[in-house]
Amino acid sequence: MIQPAPINPGVPLKREWGTALAALRRLLANGDDTEQVFKIMRALNGNVSQRNYVKLLSVPGGGRLAYRRLELSKRLTDRSWIDSFAPGTLGAAYRHFLDSTGYSADGLVQVSMVEGGFQGIEVEHPYAWMGRRERDIHDLWHVLTGYQADEHLGELCLVAFSYAQTGGLGWGFIALGGALKSIRTTGRLDCVKAILEGYRHGKRARWLHGEDYETLLEEPLEAARARLGIETPTRYKFAQARLAAAGIGAL
């Protein structure tokens, strides 16, 4: 049997538009098929981890974060640590997120390793570590931004926010596909406006990859949002209410 060549995170992956389009079709047919997200990321994100790692080294405190190379997935599965956060903090809100959704950092790791997804991301390499960091903070960004994870519009808004923050083309591809589907599903532009708002908010906010998340989780949630320039998702809440009134549970 021919063994596949080992993945070198130092070499940018070529974009595979056919793979991305097939995965997007499956994702839009079933918004809960999270595996397709990672297939799209792999197919389209190219050198985004390399670029963001270099950027991390240039921001205040970023070099220390890169030098420490904390594995956030391990930290975020330490339940005793998660339980230690005081009420009102980002950490407490993240704890509520975990308990109310049943999600976990470990679960996100397992989904990301699907065939065609993030295989090779576990290697010891700075760029691979940066890719893991982007994966592991996704649910924290749900809490920070106010975009819920239990319905598809919230995911699409966060995808657009993530595209603005990271420059990963895979995020933008999913946001565009979801926006087009929302028009077909609802016949209105409310969801498109909410998704565009997510992108604008991502552009206006501070670069969240440069944050020390161990420290950030201890901050009061509203104070953290204000410091980071994360705005209230007004159009998202409006579109969410319109979907509920129309009896549309998912896009």
15 located within any domain: no
Burial class (CB in 10 A: 0-12, 13-18, 19+), 229: exposed
Give the pLDDT confidence of 80-125 residue by residue, as tens digits. Answer: 999 999 999 999 999 999 999 998 888 877 776 665 455 556 788 9
Q: In this predicted structure, which of 55-59, 107-111, 133-137, 168-172 has the lowest mean pLDDT? A: 107-111
51, 10 in Cβ contact below 8 A?
no
Give the pLDDT confidence of 192-244 residue by residue, as tens digits. Answer: 999 999 999 999 999 999 999 999 999 999 999 999 999 999 999 999 999 99
The rounded distance, in Å, linking the Cα atoms of 193 and 157 is 10
- SS3 for 63-85, per residue? HHHHHHCCCHHHHCCCHHHHCCC
How many structural domains does the chain have?
1
The rounded distance, in Å, linking the Cα atoms of 128 and 78 is 22
30 located within any domain: no
26 located within any domain: no
210 located within any domain: yes
Give the pLDDT confidence of 174-185 residue by residue, as tens digits. Answer: 999 999 999 999
Where in the sequence is the domain holding 123, given as residue range(s)? 47-245
The rounded distance, in Å, linking the Cα atoms of 195 and 180 is 11
Give the pLDDT confidence of 115-149 residue by residue, as tens digits. Answer: 545 555 678 899 999 999 999 999 999 999 999 98
116 located within any domain: yes
Collapsed DSSP state (helix, strand, coil) of residue 131:
helix
Mean pLDDT for all residues in the chain: 91
Q: Which helix (H) or strand (E) holds 244?
A: helix 234-245
The band of 2, judged by pLDDT with boundaries at 50, 70 and 90, is very low
